[in-house]
Amino acid sequence: MSVLVYTELADGQFKKSSLEAIFYGSKVATQVGGSMTVLVIGSAADEELAKAGNFGATKVLHANAQNLTAENIMAYSKVLSETAKSLAATIVVSAKSSLADAVMARAAGALKAGLVGNVVELPETSNGFKVKRSIFTGKAFAETSITSDVKFIAIKKNVLPLEETSNSAAVEKLSVDTGSLTESSKVLETIKATGTVSLPEADLVVSGGRGMKGPENWQALLDLAEALGAATACSKPVSDLDWRPHHEHVGQTGVKVAPNLYIACGISGAIQHLAGVNSSKVIVVINKDPEAPFFKAADYGIVGDVFDVLPKLTAAVKAL
């Protein structure tokens, strides 16, 4: 059995979630006694790509094409399915992300492969092929067996603690012709917050709810996020009210996050909000209402006014 890991780049470097997928893929390859290949499409230096070796890869296939945007999803999924075919890969792994999900979905469709997402553990391969995945937005798990010959799995963030070595992987060029597949769509404009930590990738997240009272009060929260190097997030009403941009909205109908630390400021902890954050390792809740439901899902809690508590936390972080 051979394993193929589909990875993504951000600013010429592997995304952290992709390094996690490489590490996961190498563990799967060891488990099934097969080899592992990493596929990367986009522009990056060979030295950067060789770093896949630190996380268990020996070989990286690099298609030096334009970075992935929505307009080349079809082209990229074709590269992935063709590469899987030519390597006779039977297990294809990626980390979940909105573009990788699209590429994986189309490639799985092309190969008639069973695809399971939100996988949270290494597969069980002693009898068939089973993976444990999170379902009901983190409220439960399902042990799922994949019965097709080729198996696609997309892993959740923070599934395995990364172990880094100092090996380096061989980088091979892969030439691809993706031209004809992009004609039916065209990106007109990309609007992206710059210089901020990406929310789905973040290890630390500071999030605000309606208890923040208005967009003009966000500075106290931004200060803490900046001191921590954390990404910022918000509850649904906050983005509905346009206090914060939509891409910060977490929960059942928003971004699902799984950071090491999630700090909730003035958020009540409605079940739909918890659904997007319950995979966080440690949850801190700051709320002036001691009966707020969020405390039941929290590891640490402070009953108090956010505007009083936030500056104290920021000062304590700066004093570290």
Partner 1 sequence: MKILVCISSVPDTTSKISFEENDTKFSKAGIQYIIGPYDDYALARGVELRESLGGTLTVLNVGLADAEPQIRKALAIGADDAVRIDAEPTDSFFVASEIANYVKDKGFDLILMGRETTDYNSGVVHGIVGELLGIPSFSPVMELKLEGNTATLAREIEGGKEKLEASLPLVLGCQEPIAEWKIPNMRGIMSARTKPLAVIAPSSEALTSIEKYELPAPKGACKMISAEDAGSLIKLLQTEAKVL
d(CA 274, CA 267) in angstroms, rounded, equals: 10
Taking the complex as a whole, the smallest distance from the CB of residue 24 to partner 1 amounts, in Å, to 18
Q: Of 31, 49, 259, whose CA–CA distance to 125 is shortest? A: 31
Site string for partner 1, 270-299 (x = CB under 8 A): -xx--x--x--xx-xx---------xxxxx
Q: Which is nearer to ligand FAD, 25 or 211 (CB)?
A: 211
Which H or E element spans position 312? helix 306-318
Q: Does 264 bind partner 1 (CB under 8 A)?
A: no
Taking the complex as a whole, the smallest distance from the CB of residue 214 to ligand FAD amounts, in Å, to 11
Residue found by looking up tokens 């918000």 in the block: 234
Which H or E element spans position 285? strand 282-287
Q: Does 142 bind partner 1 (CB under 8 A)?
A: yes
Q: Does 265 bind partner 1 (CB under 8 A)?
A: no
Residue 34 interacts with, from ligand FAD, partner 1, none (CB under 5-8 Å by kind): none
Q: Which stretch binds partner 1 (CB under 8 A): 18-26, 34-42, 48-56, 252-260?
A: 252-260
d(CA 14, CA 49) in angstroms, rounded, equals: 7
Residue 282 interacts with, from partner 1, ligand FAD, none (CB under 5-8 Å by kind): partner 1
Q: Does 49 bind partner 1 (CB under 8 A)?
A: no
d(CA 288, CA 145) in angstroms, rounded, equals: 45
Side chain identity at 286, as an amino acid letter? Answer: I
Interface residues toward ligand FAD, by CB under 6 A: 209-211, 235-238, 251-254, 266-268, 270, 272-273, 276, 287-289, 292, 305-307
Residue 87 interacts with, from partner 1, ligand FAD, none (CB under 5-8 Å by kind): none
Q: Which of 5, 22, 92, 116 binds partner 1 (CB under 8 A)?
A: 116
Taking the complex as a whole, the smallest distance from the CB of residue 283 to ligand FAD amounts, in Å, to 14
Q: In the range 59-78, which residues lie near partner 1 by CB under 8 A?
A: 69-71, 73-74, 77
Q: Does 46 bind partner 1 (CB under 8 A)?
A: no
| Residue 270 buriedness (CB in 10 A; 0-12 / 13-18 / 19+) | middle
Whether residue 75 contacts residue 183, with contact meaning beta carbons closer than 8 Å, is answered with: no
Side chain identity at 200, as an amino acid letter? Answer: P
Q: Which residues pair with 154 in a beta bridge?
A: 94
Structure tokens that stand for 87 in this block: 């390597």
